[in-house]
Amino acid sequence: MKSTKFSAKVLATFILTGALAVPAFAGATLRGVDYINNPSGASPSIDAKNLRNEQDADSQSQTAETINDDVEKTETGKVTIIDGIRVPTNIKSDEAILADFAQLSGGGANMDWGNYYPSANSIPVGNADETWLRNFGAYSRENTTDKVCYLTFDLGYENGHTISIMETLKKHNAPATFFVTGACIKSNPEIVLAIAKNGFTVGNHTLNHKNMSNVTTKELFYTEVNTVEEQYETLTGHPMNRYYRPPEGKSSQAQLLLARAMGYKTMLWSVAYKDYDEKAQPGRSSALATLNKRIHPGAIVLLHATSSTNASILDELLTGWESAGYTFKSLDELPENEFSGV
């Protein structure tokens, strides 16, 4: 949403005095073995010659139909592909967001998302029941016995590995979602544009990767999320895909409801490992062993695009998962109501 249409100031003006209170997050006290964080820091410069031609995705699309001004456009259900960019077909109106926000209250994060893995390749136990999460538009996995998984990458800042990661994904015809911060869009717009132009989904990882425990009002939450939308739309000319990943997995029932009111699905994860510290990267063998033990049917996989280890192992990792019978799907293909009672 453009701030000229619907800003935090406008939001504050229309807040109802009788807004409903939102109870605290109903999560378990168990903290999972994976505590995922994006380290902060300035991103190094990227040599433009290493960037893929932003028009490559256009030339690779053989099903697209040429329309006005030579723009390539094809319908794929939840998204429309325009010039290689995945554009959501339905965006919640400002008026609808305003009406829903008026019924909600803010509240800082009081949950650290994580998973416990009972055994190799088993469904992990998360900090909250998946059925409960779905009631608030949040997901950590698909409920299935089919060997499918959803690849996602958190990109708080560019660390020189994103192009290599995209090239590997292209090699395997693997769709993926990159959750970017507003800081990353500002410092490395060419990287974010390359992600979008190469047909990958770009999701929202907040403006500054704040500790969401300190985002205690709905006005603050709105600013953290909406500003990234504005930056992305200015960069690409298209609205952002409505997938939200809270930094460090920190959230609350109140924030899940606010994200849903803004038209977002909150994407957590069921497979991850400690890959986020660039100064203490896991070894190749250790990383492969950990991820191969944790992959399971229906997994939403979280990897950090800032990780040198991830860039080096990704081809071997995906090859191994394909050999084990796994296929890769886009978040747009994630079922919404496969859990009973939802």
Known catalytic residue: 146? Answer: no
- Residue of 96, 61, 95 whose CA lies nearest to 76: 61
Look up 304 and say whether it is catalytic.
yes
User: Which is the catalytic residue, given 34, 58, 83, 154?
Assistant: 154
Q: Tokens for 15?
A: 């807040």
Q: Which of 161, 205, 296, 304 is catalytic?
A: 304
State how beta strands 250-251 and 299-304 pair. unpaired
Per-residue exposure over 189-225, b if at least 16 CB sit within 10 Å of its own CB, e if not: eebbbbbbbbbbbbbbbbbbbbebbebbbbbbbbbbb
Residues with catalytic roles: 154, 304
